[in-house]
Structure 1
Amino acid sequence: MPRLSVLVPAYQAAQTIVPALRSTMRALPKDAEIVVLDDGSTDGTAEVARHVDDPRLRVISRPNRGVAATLNDLLDATDSELVARMDADDIVLPGRFARQLRRIEAGADAVFTTVVTWGAGRPGLPRPSAIGAEAFGLHLLLTNPVAHSTFLGRRAAVTEVGGYRALPTEDYDLWLRMAMHGARLHRMALPGLAYRVHPGQVTASAEWRRASWENPEIAAAYSALAERLLGAPARRITSLSIDSQLAPDEKTAQVAEFSTRFDAALLKCAPPARRALRRKLSERRAWLTRQLGEQEVVAR
């Protein structure tokens, strides 16, 4: 049994999966494997992946079931102590897994990295900012601060909250539930991944984002974490923005109450984390103000 399994869900990835696998193998530590699950591709993804000759690689195929089911099937197909994620169109940067494993050995339950973006548009370089365990849950109450494909963590931390659910933003939903159950989540400052950006990806879809904002299960997971960290349940600012049952002043009042509780919770954080979170909260409140202004214009 390898200590680490890198899980790679793949769908219609014949054009990108070989460099993704090669980069993963170059960074792979000893006592590790890569497991690809081809989710019913029709472009020969599995065949292309199987041509990568490496004893550390396994390729599984089955009919299409969606990304959450694919990730849970990958968990079931492996039995390692640690699991990591990689997408079939991204590139692992040198040293990623070694740095993450050192943080796991220091007591973390899950470790992420920042990313370099490439592909459509101009390349993006991250601000080299880490997020410690004491601040990670508060970041989740504002936005998802990590890319799913940078995850490396303890299998037990994932399975004890039920694994992935078939929801929009299945990764954000999982991080919310892990944080709620006390898992220690970290983001390392250095990038560990070159994240491909392209116009057709699901995460670029406005419909996909709205489905996440409207989803009741994600709302419940978010509210439970808010109650744990802030002392009271709360709603996502994005969800408030599209609630047609609330007047603009009611939305503003709810965010003001949230902000008061959030600011009190920041006292438990170190000053650099406190500043970063206050800046992010200010950005989210400004975003809501713009949304309300645009809605008022449309309503006229």
Structure 2
Amino acid sequence: MPRISVIVPAYNAAGTIGLALRSTLRALPRDAEVVVIDDGSTDDTGEVAESLADHRVRVVSRPNRGVAATLTELLEITDGELVARMDADDLVLPGRFRRQVSAIEAGADAVFTTVITWGSGFPALPRPSAIRAEDFGMHLLLTNPVAHSTLLARRDTIVDAGGYRDLPTEDYDLWLRMAARGARITRLALPGLGYRVHPGQVTASADWRLASWSNAELAEAYSALAEKLIGAPARRITSLSIDDHLGRDEKLAEFDRFAARFEAALEGRSESARRALRRKLRERRSWLAARIEGNRTAPR
């Protein structure tokens, strides 16, 4: 049984999966496997993956079932103590797994890294900012601060939280549930991934974003974490922005009540954590105000 199972859902990624897998294999320790599910691709994704002819790579091809079902199946057909995620169009940077395994061995349950974005213009370097385990849940109440394809986690942590559910932002939903169960989740400062940005990404779709913002199961998971961390249930800021039953002032007032509880929960945290979270809180209020104004002025 390999210690690390890298799970890779792939759909119509023939042009990128070879480079993605080669970068993964170069960074992996010996005691690891890479398992790809070709999710009903209409191109040569499966053939390209198999052409690497590396004993650590296993490829399963089957009809399309969607990303959440594919991730669940990948968990079922692998057995590594640690589970890493990789996408078929990203690049693993040197040292990623070595640093993540060290963090796991130091007591973390799940470890992410920052990313270098590329594919549209010049590569964008991240602010080298780590997120400590004691602060990660507070970041989740403001936004999703990590890329799914940088995950390395204990398998038990994923399974105990219920695994992936078939809903938009299945990754953020899982982080919320893991954090609510007390998992120690961290983000390392150094980038571990080259994250490819392109127009065909699911996350670039306005329909996908709206489906996520209005999803009831995701709202419930978010509210449960809010109650645990700030002492009261709350709505996602994105969900509040699309509530047609509230006016501008009512939305901002609800956000400000949330912000007051959020501020109170920052007491006792490190100065750097408070500074980062307060900055993000201000940014989210500005985003909400701008979106409300945009909706008011948009043509009907």
TM-score of the two chains, using structure 1 as the length reference:
0.98
Q: What is residue 115 of structure 1 aligned with on the other side?
A: 115
**Alignment partner of 1:89 is 2:110:** no
Alpha-carbon spacing, 1:63–1:268, altered in 2? closer, same or farther (3 Å) = farther
Cα distance in 1, alignment partners of residues 35 and 297 from structure 2: 51
Q: What is residue 77 of structure 2 aligned with on the other side?
A: 77
Cα distance in 1, alignment partners of residues 145 and 182 from structure 2: 18
Cα distance in 1, alignment partners of residues 298 and 42 from structure 2: 43
Q: What is residue 288 of structure 1 aligned with on the other side?
A: 288
TM-score of the two chains, using structure 2 as the length reference:
0.98
Q: What is residue 141 of structure 1 aligned with on the other side?
A: 141
TM alignment of 1:1-300, pairs within 5 A: 1-298=1-298
Cα distance in 1, alignment partners of residues 173 and 146 from structure 2: 12
Cα distance in 2, alignment partners of residues 268 and 33 from structure 1: 42
Question: Where in structure 1 are there 5+ consecutive unaligned residues?
Answer: none
Please tell me the residue identity of whatever aligns with 1:83.
V
Deviation at residue 145 of structure 1 after TM alignment: 0.2
Cα distance in 1, alignment partners of residues 182 and 297 from structure 2: 43
Cα distance in 1, alignment partners of residues 232 and 12 from structure 2: 43
1:45-100 Cα offsets, whole Å, 9 max, x none, are: 11111110111111111110000000000000011110000001111000000000
Cα distance in 2, alignment partners of residues 263 and 299 from structure 1: 36
Cα distance in 1, alignment partners of residues 215 and 81 from structure 2: 32
Kept in 2: contact 1:120–1:199 (CA 8 A): no
Kept in 2: contact 1:114–1:126 (CA 8 A): yes
Please tell me the residue identity of whatever aligns with 1:41.
S
Deviation at residue 125 of structure 1 after TM alignment: 0.6
After TM superposition, the structure 1 stretch with the greater mean CA deviation from structure 2, 65-74 or 203-212, is: 203-212
Identical-pair percentage: 70
Deviation at residue 299 of structure 1 after TM alignment: 7.4
Deviation at residue 252 of structure 1 after TM alignment: 1.2
Cα distance in 2, alignment partners of residues 179 and 268 from structure 1: 19
Cα distance in 1, alignment partners of residues 72 and 296 from structure 2: 43
- SS of the residue corresponding to residue 102 of structure 2 reads helix
Cα distance in 2, alignment partners of residues 252 and 175 from structure 1: 26
Please tell me the residue identity of whatever aligns with 2:93.
L
Please tell me the residue identity of whatever aligns with 2:65.
R
Question: Where in structure 2 are there 5+ consecutive unaligned residues?
Answer: none
- SS of the residue corresponding to residue 268 of structure 1 reads coil
- SS of the residue corresponding to residue 58 of structure 2 reads strand
Cα distance in 2, alignment partners of residues 178 and 204 from structure 1: 26
Cα distance in 2, alignment partners of residues 17 and 84 from structure 1: 16
**Runs of 4+ displaced beyond 3 Å:** none
Cα distance in 1, alignment partners of residues 62 and 269 from structure 2: 46
Please tell me the residue identity of whatever aligns with 1:84.
A
Cα distance in 2, alignment partners of residues 33 and 291 from structure 1: 44
1:201-237 Cα offsets, whole Å, 9 max, x none, are: 1111111111110000000000000000000000011
Deviation at residue 268 of structure 1 after TM alignment: 3.3
Please tell me the residue identity of whatever aligns with 1:110.
A
Cα distance in 2, alignment partners of residues 293 and 16 from structure 1: 40
Cα distance in 2, alignment partners of residues 271 and 103 from structure 1: 23
After TM superposition, the structure 1 stretch with the greater mean CA deviation from structure 2, 23-32 or 245-254, is: 245-254
Please tell me the residue identity of whatever aligns with 1:191.
P
- SS of the residue corresponding to residue 296 of structure 1 reads helix
